Amino acid sequence: MTDTETSKTAVVTGAGSGIGRAVAVELLRAGWSVALAGRRAEPLEETAALVPGAASLTVRTDVARPEDVAALFAATAARFGRVDLLFNNAGTFGPGGVPVEDLSYEAWRHVVDTNLNGAFLCAQAAYRQMKEQDPQGGRIINNGSISAHTPRPHSAPYTATKHALTGLTKALSLDGRPYRIAVGQIDIGNAATEMTARMETGALQADGRTVPEPVMDVADVARTVRHMAELPLEANVQFATVLATAMPYVGRG
């Protein structure tokens, strides 16, 4: 099967590690063609190598740079002919444990540029491609967070961007209806990745304690994204929450 004959094509941002890598691998193993985007080329190549022979494309991309995002989608369309899925995953926590009064504007801006502006730029590029291609349409899945509902202490930039991402998801979902563009969001809590390793040793709680938290296998997140991705465009998971069962999220922990 050639690249252009592959049934579905996905763009996965932040594909060099963590949730992005797990989702990219899940899709590649399922027969998708996948454009792997991230700021560093080497981790992207490592992700691609996890599924030898699969139809993958690596594109070094800073999602906060409009020219990088445009180049990513142009390269994907040139290689695979269309874009059926964007997993809008690239993001950063920003500086951990910094009280809001001590947070620099530069740190705030970096998180906003990556988590919100980057998500918008990628969604906009995907939307344009999906609207123009034949057959028309596709799906965008935004990676939200448990923080899109409930913040952790000292997380103002991250939490603000994830709340904003929920609004972006709703607006894009509405605007995409006439063009068969389905938009949903997955909110993830305590998936075991490099970024969440501290959860198992101790995370700051709302009452000031630092206690270990349970985590879940990131593969369970990847399978959920694949399920959302493979629905027909007439069906959409608007919001999904996938979390470690016993993490302190609902109730009082």
pLDDT in tens, 22-37: 999 999 999 999 999 9
- For the chain, the average pLDDT equals 92
Q: Which residues are catalytic?
A: 158
Q: How many Cβ atoms from other residues are within 10 Å of residue 102's Cβ? A: 10
Q: Inform me whether the pLDDT recorded for 2 exceeds 50.
A: no
pLDDT band at 6 (very low <50, low <70, confident <90, very high): very low
pLDDT in tens, 129-155: 999 999 999 999 999 998 889 888 788
What is the per-residue DSSP string for 19-54? HHHHHHHHHHHTT-EEEEEES-HHHHHHHHHTSTT-
Map out the domains of the chain with their CATH numbers. Answer: 3-243 (3.40.50.720)
pTM of the model: 0.91
pLDDT tens per residue, range 122-132: 999 999 999 99
